[in-house]
């Protein structure tokens, strides 16, 4: 089977610290959450200029995503770097991703790996995933499937859905681990239940082919239906192809299950 990979991603959440006293940082977070992005930006910027690492990270996030300010990768890098140099693990991971993708800095996989390593020393799951990806693809380090599996597993066990999906791929293909379709299905399912579209598509493929699970067109349709709803175009095409091989009763059943699956936030699907 052909399973899809996921590229390294920026961690897409703002910090919410626990202040020890009346804290302007919390005011900035509250303003951001209320949709007052300009006010939040000004508060974060004031704090960042005073050396607050969480505010520096959040400024980097806002610049990287064009969230409340014009998108500006160089500014994002500058603020991520300030926070990263203070030991902020999420900023270290995001700075690594900027180097990996060549966003705001010249692309430099070795520098990306160096920042990912700093973040994984603090247990950052996104950095663990990204470091696994670097080993998986031989970017900045020699290609090493066993190392890739080790880092994917660390992130997957922390609940990182991208890592769970890629760990499933490693088991499905027998890369870095003995081939084990049942184990692949188990990891695809964990990620699929978090709404990961690639894992949902891969789980559908397993049902379509009968790998690690009994072959089941209805459940294959269900998971391609979920993945398609989450933007996976290949899944939508596969669902259309599969539907031509199914009876009207099977399609009706699959759509009934899909409706329940979607309503249950992808939990206990097909039961």
**Residues 152, 132: contact at Cβ < 8 Å?**
yes
pLDDT, residue 200, reads: 97
pLDDT score of 176: 98
Gyration radius of the chain over CA positions? 21
The pTM (predicted TM-score) of the whole model is: 0.91
Q: Which residue from 76, 54, 74 is spatially nearest to 64, judged by alpha carbons?
A: 76
Q: Which residues contact 133 (CB under 8 A, 6 or more apart)?
A: 5, 6, 7, 8, 139, 148, 166
Backbone angles phi, psi at 79, to 5 degrees: -80, -35
- In whole angstroms, give the CA distance from residue 134 to residue 110: 10
Question: Residue 25 is encoded by which pair of tokens?
Answer: 């940082």
Q: What is the pLDDT of residue 15?
A: 57
Instruction: From 170, 240, 116, select the one nearest 3 (Cα to Cα).
Output: 170
User: What is the model's pLDDT at position 13?
Assistant: 56
User: What is the model's pLDDT at position 14?
Assistant: 56
CA 215 → CA 108, 171, 249, 261, distances in Å? 44, 19, 17, 19
The token duo for 214 is 């009994």
pLDDT value at position 171?
97
Work out the number of other CB atoms within 10 angstroms of the CB of residue 157: 14
Rounded to an integer, what distance in angstroms lies between the CA atom of residue 148 and that of residue 129? 9
Q: What is the pLDDT of residue 266?
A: 97
| pLDDT attached to residue 271 | 79
Other Cβ atoms closer than 10 A to 68:
20
Residue stretches of the chain with pLDDT short of 50: 1-10, 12, 16, 18-21
User: What CA–CA distance (Å, rounded) separates 8 from 197?
Assistant: 15
45 within 8 A of 59, measured Cβ to Cβ:
yes
DSSP classification of residue 16: -
CA 204 to CA 226: how far, in whole Å? 9
């Amino acid at each position: 089977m052909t399973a899809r990979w996921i590229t390294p991603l920026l961690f897409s959440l703002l910090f919410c610290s626990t202040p020890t006293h009346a804290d302007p940082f919390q005011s900035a977070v509250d303003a951001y959450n209320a949709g007052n992005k300009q006010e939040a930006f000004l508060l974060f910027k004031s704090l960042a200029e005073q050396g607050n690492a969480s505010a520096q990270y959040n400024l980097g996030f806002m610049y990287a995503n064009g969230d409340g300010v014009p998108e500006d990768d160089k500014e994002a890098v500058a603020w991520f770097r300030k926070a990263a140099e203070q030991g902020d693990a999420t900023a270290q991971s995001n700075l690594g991703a900027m180097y990996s993708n060549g966003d705001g800095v010249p692309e430099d996989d070795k520098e990306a790996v160096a920042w990912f390593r700093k973040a994984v020393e603090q247990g950052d799951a996104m950095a663990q995933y990204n470091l696994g990806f670097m080993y998986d693809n031989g970017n900045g380090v020699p290609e090493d499937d066993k190392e890739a599996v080790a880092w994917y597993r660390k992130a997957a066990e922390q609940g990182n859905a991208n890592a769970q999906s890629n760990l499933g791929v490693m088991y499905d293909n027998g890369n870095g681990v003995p081939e084990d379709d049942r184990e692949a299905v188990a990891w695809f399912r964990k990620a699929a239940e978090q709404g990961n579209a690639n894992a949902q598509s891969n789980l559908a493929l397993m049902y379509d082919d009968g790998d690690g699970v009994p072959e089941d067109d209805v459940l294959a349709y269900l998971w391609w239906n979920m993945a398609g709803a989450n933007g996976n175009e290949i899944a939508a095409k596969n669902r259309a192809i599969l539907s031509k091989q199914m009876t009207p009763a099977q399609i009706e059943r699959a759509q009934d299950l899909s409706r329940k699956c979607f309503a249950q936030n992808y939990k206990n699907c097909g039961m």
